[in-house]
């Protein structure tokens, strides 16, 4: 009996304490400054010309709850928070029920956030799930309930939530999906839209109409259960054939949201920007986005990927002078997949790793004419381990070939011989110098790109080559302002010298041979198939593994990287391997239709010599093929010194 009385007293004291705490907190919230919900979290993103391309809560699109169709309001309340008008921000009965179900199933099967809680969450820039964040969310929920009516909170919620496809707010969503104002929605349209915010990437009918219809059925059932509609009305609405417009007034690009997501990702990693800027009323984010370049990129992707809708792509275009990313795609179509491969994925880079190997070689005594025998070779390392790389298609010259032709053909035997001769640490150090932060193992296979690297980071590394040895950090955001015009952040566009400019110039010239007919021999240059598309001069390298295809190239003005493959790492077909090359060529040439393309000036300590491109020897009258190679002064071949310049570089091979 004493134990029972103890539990009763404990329960009563706990209950009274909870009530007291709630009264204190709600009273305190009542006397706090009122949040301006119509401008909170007004995140606006601008392109390079300061045209607005995205807003999370644009006041001019804010519609009064009186101008929102009643079916949409009822559908939203029914499916998201049926007791919305009967609680003060927290539905405790629902919370207890959700806790019970989640514990019973040993996983989260039901949430319990009220509309006010969700709105409080949407007012934050950060979506992290820390306890501090949750406490802040609870506090903002109380403040909203104390300062605003239920209709005002619901109005703010409907004007700010995500309806998928990069569309925020019910008015924008109504126009995007159905080309009508929110007040003109019918029950079928309203129930479809009301189902999207729970999981915008899954429930948008443009992403997966089958799943969206299942969600619509859930919404309509909840409306029946809550007395808003009859079963007959539910069936009529569910069976209504909907026509989706899926079009914005401006910038109707299926890849643009990838760029916007990348901006948000970068924003969240800028330490000087507070995680919550409710009191400031929002942010203006000015980016380097070139909408014309983004359009060209999307067209190139669509034109070259239509035959295989299962494969995916990522693409990054950067200004090497300052590191500004002017266009970015993280997939073929954002409406079908929101996973941003350009910033979140790491893939094997294949032979696109070789330029950093050959920079190290040129910096350690090699020249454009340095030769190795291209023949099947087994390398011995660590005393007893062996490695036997193969060339693509198992094609070998079976003769000495120059470094220039090894680059043009992407000869794996030559690359590994170079790597072993130099010492594996040279490539590791060069990669670190240009900003590749991955942990690289000094293995014989490293120059063949067995390491996985993020495309945006890798394009940044290539920027050091395009920028003649100056390293820049890839970024999208130029500056960030608050609602009063105060500059909160501004990119410094800093550069640091990491490579020898003259050697980089020579390397860039060598990489421009990958699509040259002068190098036709026992095999073809790796990018010869796109040579007819290229009207300007570029340094470009392709790379492939069984599962990944990359093409990265540049000139003085632009660096462009393309990855193509499958999310499930299935093997690529021969046809798949050409996609990244064609997307690269089409994208970069489209860019230079309206922009000037430029190449590099000859450094004072570099000379040019006419040579046989395959052997690297001085060209003679008997040579049918001749090509200009570049050398540091004093290292160029002459009649007298050529045998010394191509002396036998021995490596540990069998």
Both 348 and 218 in one domain: the answer is: no
Q: What is the pLDDT of residues 352-381, one digit of tens each?
A: 999 999 999 999 999 999 999 999 988 887
Both 378 and 503 in one domain: the answer is: yes
Q: What is the pLDDT of residues 383-414, one digit of tens each?
A: 778 889 998 889 999 999 999 999 999 999 99
Q: What is the pLDDT, as a whole number, of residue 61?
A: 67
Active-site residue identified among 44, 335, 351, 615: 351
Positive or negative torsion for Cα 573, 293, 346, 409: positive
Decide which of 252, 284, 308 is a domain's last residue.
252
Q: What is the pLDDT, as a whole number, of residue 411?
A: 96
Q: Establish if 191 belongs to a structural domain.
A: yes
Both 324 and 206 in one domain: the answer is: no
Mean pLDDT, residues 583-604 taken together: 97
- Return the higher-pLDDT residue of 485 and 557: 557
Specify whether the CB–CB gap between 406 and 421 falls below 8 A: no
Q: Establish if 370 belongs to a structural domain.
A: yes
Q: Establish if 429 belongs to a structural domain.
A: yes
Work out the pLDDT band at 283, boundaries 50, 70, 90.
confident
Q: Which of 190-194, 382-386, 501-505 has the lowest mean pLDDT?
A: 382-386
Active site residue 235: no
Both 85 and 163 in one domain: the answer is: yes
Decide which of 220, 235, 252 is a domain's last residue.
252
Specify whether the CB–CB gap between 180 and 170 falls below 8 A: no
Max avg pLDDT among 152-156, 197-201, 342-346: 342-346
Mean pLDDT of the residues in the chain: 86
CATH number of domain containing 496: 3.40.710.10
Report the DSSP pairing between strands 627-632 and 325-329: unpaired
Mean pLDDT, residues 287-311 taken together: 94
Q: What is the pLDDT, as a whole number, of residue 278?
A: 34
Q: What is the pLDDT, as a whole number, of residue 101?
A: 54
Q: What is the pLDDT, as a whole number, of residue 147?
A: 73
What φ, ψ does residue 596 adopt, rounded to 5°?
-80, 135
Around Cβ 448, how many Cβ atoms within 10 Å? 25
**CA–CA dist 403, 414 (Å, integer):** 8
Both 416 and 483 in one domain: the answer is: yes
Q: What H or E segment, with its residue span, contains residue 471? A: strand 470-471
Which DSSP letter does residue 529 get?
G
Q: What H or E segment, with its residue span, contains residue 143? A: helix 131-147
**CA–CA dist 443, 387 (Å, integer):** 10
Both 478 and 597 in one domain: the answer is: yes
CATH number of domain containing 184: 1.10.3810.10
Burial of 106 (0-12, 13-18, 19+ CB in 10 A): exposed
Nearest CA to 36 out of 277, 267, 285 is that of: 277
Total structural domains within the chain: 2
- Return the higher-pLDDT residue of 297 and 84: 297
- Return the higher-pLDDT residue of 283 and 453: 453
Report the DSSP pairing between strands 43-46 and 283-287: parallel
Q: Which of 65-79, 140-154, 425-439, 514-528 has the lowest mean pLDDT?
A: 140-154
Both 234 and 315 in one domain: the answer is: no
Q: Establish if 357 belongs to a structural domain.
A: yes
Active-site residue identified among 80, 171, 324, 589: 80
Query: Which residues, listed in sequence order, are joined to residue 550 by a DSSP beta bridge?
Result: 543, 563
Both 302 and 246 in one domain: the answer is: no
Domain that holds residue 543: 296-645
Q: What is the pLDDT, as a whole number, of residue 58?
A: 43
Work out the pLDDT band at 124, boundaries 50, 70, 90.
low
Q: Establish if 57 belongs to a structural domain.
A: no
Both 95 and 232 in one domain: the answer is: yes
Provide DSSP, 404-438.
HHHHHHT-HHHHHHHHHHH-THHHHHHHHHTT--S
Q: Is pLDDT of 79 > 80?
A: yes
Q: Establish if 225 belongs to a structural domain.
A: yes
Q: What is the pLDDT, as a whole number, of residue 649?
A: 47
Q: What is the pLDDT of residues 230-262, one digit of tens each?
A: 999 999 999 999 998 876 555 668 899 899 899
Q: Is pLDDT of 646 > 50?
A: no
Q: What is the pLDDT, as a whole number, of residue 146?
A: 72
Q: Establish if 47 belongs to a structural domain.
A: no
Active site residue 424: no
Q: What is the pLDDT, as a whole number, of residue 100?
A: 55
- Return the higher-pLDDT residue of 547 and 644: 547
Positive or negative torsion for Cα 219, 222, 228, 234: positive
Q: What is the pLDDT, as a whole number, of residue 275?
A: 59
Q: Is pLDDT of 321 > 70?
A: yes
Q: Is pLDDT of 589 > 80?
A: yes
Mean pLDDT, residues 627-647 taken together: 76
């Amino acid at each position: 009996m004493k134990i029972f009385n103890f539990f009763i007293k404990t329960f009563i004291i706990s209950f009274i304490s909870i009530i007291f705490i709630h009264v204190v907190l709600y009273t305190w919230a009542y006397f706090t400054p009122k949040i301006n919900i119509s401008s909170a979290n007004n995140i606006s993103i601008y392109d390079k010309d300061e045209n607005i391309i995205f807003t999370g809560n644009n006041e001019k699109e804010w519609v009064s709850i009186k101008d929102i169709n009643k079916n949409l309001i009822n559908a939203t309340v029914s499916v998201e928070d049926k007791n919305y008008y009967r609680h003060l921000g927290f539905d405790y009965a629902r919370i207890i029920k959700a806790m019970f179900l989640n514990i019973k199933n040993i996983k989260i099967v039901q949430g319990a956030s009220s509309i006010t809680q969700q709105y409080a969450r949407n007012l934050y820039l950060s979506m992290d799930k820390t306890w501090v964040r949750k406490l802040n969310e609870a506090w903002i929920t109380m403040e909203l309930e104390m300062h605003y009516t239920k209709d005002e909170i619901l109005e703010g919620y409907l004007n700010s939530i995500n309806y998928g496809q990069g569309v925020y707010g019910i008015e924008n969503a109504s126009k995007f999906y159905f080309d009508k104002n929110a007040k003109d929605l019918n029950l079928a349209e309203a129930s479809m839209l009301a189902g999207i915010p729970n999981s915008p990437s899954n429930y948008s009918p443009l992403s997966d109409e089958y799943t969206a219809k299942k969600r619509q059925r859930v919404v309509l059932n909840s409306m029946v259960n809550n007395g808003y509609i009859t079963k007959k009305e539910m069936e009529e609405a569910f069976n209504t054939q909907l026509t989706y417009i899926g079009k914005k007034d401006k910038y109707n690009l299926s890849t643009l949201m990838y760029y916007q997501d990348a901006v948000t990702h970068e924003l969240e990693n800028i330490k000087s920007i507070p995680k919550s800027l409710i009191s400031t009323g929002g942010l203006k984010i000015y980016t380097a986005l070139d909408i014309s370049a983004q359009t060209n990129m999307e067209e190139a992707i669509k034109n070259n990927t239509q035959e295989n809708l299962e494969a995916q792509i990522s693409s990054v275009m950067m200004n090497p002078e300052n590191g500004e990313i002017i266009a970015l795609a993280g997939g073929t179509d954002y409406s079908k997949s929101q996973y941003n491969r350009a910033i979140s994925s790491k893939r094997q880079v294949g032979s696109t790793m070789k330029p950093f190997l050959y920079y190290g070689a040129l910096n350690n005594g090699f020249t454009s004419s340095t030769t190795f025998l291209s023949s099947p070779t087994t390398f011995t390392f660590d005393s007893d381990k062996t490695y036997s790389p193969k060339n693509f298609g198992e094609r070998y010259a079976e003769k000495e070939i120059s470094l220039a032709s090894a680059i043009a053909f992407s000869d794996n035997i030559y690359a590994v011989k170079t790597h072993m001769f130099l010492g594996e640490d040279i490539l590791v150090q060069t990669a670190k110098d240009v900003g590749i932060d991955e942990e690289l193992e000094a293995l014989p296979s490293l120059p063949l790109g067995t390491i996985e690297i993020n495309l945006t980071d890798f394009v940044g590394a290539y920027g050091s080559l395009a920028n003649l040895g100056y390293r820049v950090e890839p970024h999208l955001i130029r500056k960030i302002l608050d609602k009063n015009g105060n500059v909160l952040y501004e990119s410094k566009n800093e550069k640091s010298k990491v490579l020898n400019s003259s050697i980089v110039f020579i390397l860039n010239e060598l990489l421009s041979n990958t699509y040259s007919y002068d190098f036709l021999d026992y095999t073809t240059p790796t990018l010869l198939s796109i040579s007819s598309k290229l009207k300007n001069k570029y340094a470009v390298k392709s790379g492939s593994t069984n599962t990944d295809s990359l093409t990265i190239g540049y000139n003085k003005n632009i660096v462009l990287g393309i990855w193509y493959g499958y999310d499930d790492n299935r093997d690529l077909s021969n046809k798949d391997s050409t996609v990244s090359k064609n997307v690269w060529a089409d994208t970069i040439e489209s860019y230079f239709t309206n922009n000037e393309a430029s190449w590099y000036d000859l450094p004072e300590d570099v000379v040019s010599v006419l040579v046989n491109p395959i052997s690297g020897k001085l060209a003679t009258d008997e040579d049918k093929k001749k090509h200009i190679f570049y050398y540091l002064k004093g290292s160029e071949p002459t009649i007298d010194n050529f045998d010394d310049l191509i002396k036998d570089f021995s490596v540990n091979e069998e």
